[in-house]
Amino acid sequence: MENKFKNPESHMMTHGYKPELSEGAVKCPIFQTSTFVFKTAEEGKSFFEIAYGLREKEPTEELGLIYSRINNPNLEILENRLSLWDKADDCAVFESGMSAISTVLLEFLKPGDLLVYSNPTYGGTDHFINHFLPEIGIHTLGILPNQSIEEVKTEIEKTGHANKLAMIYLETPANPNNALFDMSGLSEQIGKYYEKRNDKQVIVAVDNTYMGPIWQHPLEHGADLTLYSATKYIGGHSDLIAGAVMGRQELMTRVKTLRTFLGNMISPNTAWLLLRSLETLKLRMDKQCDNAQKVAEYLLENDKVEKVYYLGLLHPEEQGYDIYQKQCTGPGAMISFDIVGGEKEAFEFLNALKLIKLAVSLGSTESLVQHPMTMTHAGVDPEHRKKINITEKMIRISVGVENTEDIIKDIKQAFKAVDKKELSHS
Ligand SMILES: *Cc1c(COP(=O)(O)O)cnc(C)c1O
């Protein structure tokens, strides 16, 4: 990247692509190929020496193209461009967010290790942590956003596996209530503390899907690895499934090596779609955030709404505000709110929306709405759900790029429809 132009969005159209290697095509073609021709046998030998770690790369040497499970130009260019947003040494792209997450957990956790993870966490991640990891002898401990560092330490000690702490896995802001975890606090006062005490590396991994690569950069706040479901903001058009991991070279080499053997890399075609998405990432996310702020303010004023969970509405005296100021650069485009009433009113509202689509997932150009308690978070332990305010009243909106007035108009008419139903029932 040319150092003069520091903003990643200026590099999303060109970075890492050499037109002269593709007949001068201004856009990177799709390299829909399984294998690559070596110029000579000596070249093939030399590429494999690097791929299998038999010798170190020369300072200017790039990994030669061998086979598309190991490497492919679409993957490589996508990884180079994604790395710019989080100022990461390297990035690895996967066929889904879940494959990115499970590969990281499998690479850095061994039988007997302790994993500390934030609650609530994405349903698929929660299942992998609570149902798969214990089967291979990994101990897990969930922590909550309102717990102090001291309380977390006490909980870790109580597990009896404090000497085997190997990873802190965080999702902040939490889905769906936007509760925050203090990344640098947990990294320094828990991660570094146990690392020193146990003389055992503690990896801090942050699933940054909810903020995308624009509003939060975990690597600058003590995280060793940042993970994404690229299905969400990065893809941004609800037309693909993909994932990404980024961080410093030594860790990324391990992640990429396991990816080679699990074979869960992204396809060239999906990588190409993501290259296209990246060109408008900043534009889309800026607009989504502007829209979300206005929608949240509208909801706050509405008497059908009991409570709004949105980072753009946090007041300086509220819990989480200082953490928000420290680690986020914007409030995002995910809003949850409690509707006055219960499941009946929530469902009437959801069924009455016309422009906003009733579907799970998030971060796309179209606005999406869903009911966490009976949909995305239906599998979460009810006790736990209560603690984090996921009740029958809660509705989650992922705000898209539509005209602001139209989104608000749709919400307004849906509230009216709920009112009408109430009248007809009474
Ligand atoms: C969607 C999502 C995932 C899983 O990603 P897939 O691309 O669906 O595999 C993981 N974490 C978060 C926060 C998500 O929203």
pLDDT at 80: 97
Ligand 1 pocket, residue 175 CB under 6 Å: yes
Q: For residue 198, report the distance from its CA to the centre of ligand 1, in Å.
A: 32
Any idea how long the chain is?
A: 426
Q: Order of strands across the sheet with 203-207?
A: 90-94, 243-247, 225-229, 203-207, 165-171, 114-118, 139-143
pLDDT at 50: 87
Q: Around Cβ 28, how many Cβ atoms within 10 Å?
A: 22
Give 173-191 pLDDT, tens digit per residue.
999 999 999 999 999 999 9
- pLDDT level of residue 2 (50, 70, 90 thresholds): low
310 has catalytic annotation: no
pLDDT at 422: 77
232 has catalytic annotation: yes
- Euclidean distance between CA atoms 313 and 328, whole angstroms: 14
**Angle value at C-alpha 218, between 189 and 300, nearest 5 degrees:** 100
pLDDT at 58: 87
Q: Which amino acid is residue 379, in one-letter code? A: G
Strand duo 368-370 + 357-358: pairing: parallel
- pLDDT level of residue 387 (50, 70, 90 thresholds): confident
Average pLDDT over residues 256-285: 97
- pLDDT level of residue 421 (50, 70, 90 thresholds): confident
Q: Tokens 């799709």 belong to which residue? A: 30
Q: For residue 123, report the distance from its CA to the centre of ligand 1, in Å.
A: 8
- pLDDT level of residue 426 (50, 70, 90 thresholds): low
Contact between 313 and 305 under an 8 Å Cβ cutoff? The reply is: no
Catalytic entry in 182, 207, 224, 338: 207
pLDDT at 55: 87
- pLDDT level of residue 120 (50, 70, 90 thresholds): confident
- What does R_g of the chain's alpha carbons equal in angstroms? 23
Fold of 281-425: Aspartate Aminotransferase, domain 1 (3.90.1150)
Residue 73, C-beta contacts closer than 8 angstroms, at least 6 positions apart: 28, 31, 65, 268
Average pLDDT over residues 165-171: 98
Question: pTM of the entire structure?
Answer: 0.96
Q: Order of strands across the sheet with 357-358?
A: 305-309, 334-339, 394-398, 368-370, 357-358
Buried b vs exposed e over 394-403: b needs ≥16 C-beta within 10 Å? bbbbbbbbbe
Ligand 1 pocket, residue 98 CB under 6 Å: yes
Inform me whether the pLDDT recorded for 1 exceeds 60: no
pLDDT at 139: 98
- Euclidean distance between CA atoms 271 and 223, whole angstroms: 25
Window from 38-42, 58-62, 257-261 with minimum mean pLDDT:
58-62
Q: For residue 336, report the distance from its CA to the centre of ligand 1, in Å.
A: 18
Inform me whether the pLDDT recorded for 72 exceeds 90: yes
197 has catalytic annotation: no
Give 273-287 pLDDT, tens digit per residue.
999 999 999 999 999
Catalytic entry in 17, 86, 126, 232: 232
- pLDDT level of residue 134 (50, 70, 90 thresholds): very high
For all residues of the chain together, what is the average pLDDT?
Answer: 95
pLDDT at 53: 79
Annotated domain spans of the chain = 68-278, 281-425
Q: For residue 120, report the distance from its CA to the centre of ligand 1, in Å.
A: 13
Looking at domain 68-278, its CATH class is alpha beta
Catalytic entry in 69, 276, 294, 421: 69
